[in-house]
C-alpha cells in the first residue's frame, strides 16, 4: 500500500491579464491529475503519493510560467493524508 501524503497549495497570480482565468487553469490541472482534492477558499488540499504531488506542482509551474507572474505557496506532509483513505 502506498503511503499517502498531503499537499496544501495556493496559486497566487501577481501580474496577470485575467487572474480568475489563471486560477481556473490551475484548478483544471489539479482536477485532471487524478488525485483526491478539496478546493477551499484560500488553498486546495490534495492527497496522494508524494511523487505524484511533486509532479503536479511541476506541471502547474510549467503550465503557468509563460501565462502570468505568480507565487505558489505550498505545504506538504507525510502524516496528513488521512481524509482521502477509504
pLDDT digits (tens, 9 = 90+) for 11-70: 999 999 999 999 999 999 999 999 999 999 999 999 999 999 999 999 999 999 999 999
Specify the number of domains making up the chain.
1
User: What is residue 81's DSSP assignment?
Assistant: -
Q: Is residue 21 part of a domain?
A: yes
pLDDT value, residue 8: 97
With bands split at pLDDT 50, 70 and 90, how would you rate the model's confidence at 86?
very low
Q: Is residue 42 part of a domain?
A: yes
Q: Is residue 44 part of a domain?
A: yes
Nearest-angstrom CA–CA distance, 25 and 31? 10
Q: Is residue 65 part of a domain?
A: yes
Q: Is residue 11 part of a domain?
A: yes
Q: Is residue 86 part of a domain?
A: no
pTM: 0.88
| CATH classification of the domain holding 22 | 3.30.70.930
Are 48 and 54 in contact by the 8 Å Cβ rule? The answer is no
pLDDT value, residue 79: 86
- Domain of 48? 5-81
Amino acid at each position: 500500500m502506498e503511503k499517502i501524503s498531503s499537499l496544501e497549495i495556493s496559486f497566487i497570480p501577481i501580474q496577470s491579464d485575467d487572474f480568475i482565468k489563471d486560477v481556473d487553469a490551475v484548478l483544471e490541472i489539479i482536477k485532471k491529475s487524478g488525485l483526491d482534492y478539496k478546493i477551499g477558499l484560500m488553498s486546495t488540499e490534495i492527497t496522494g503519493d508524494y511523487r505524484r504531488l511533486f509532479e503536479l506542482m511541476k506541471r502547474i509551474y510549467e503550465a503557468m510560467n509563460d501565462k502570468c507572474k505568480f507565487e505558489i505557496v505550498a505545504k506538504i506532509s507525510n502524516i496528513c493524508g488521512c481524509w482521502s483513505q477509504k
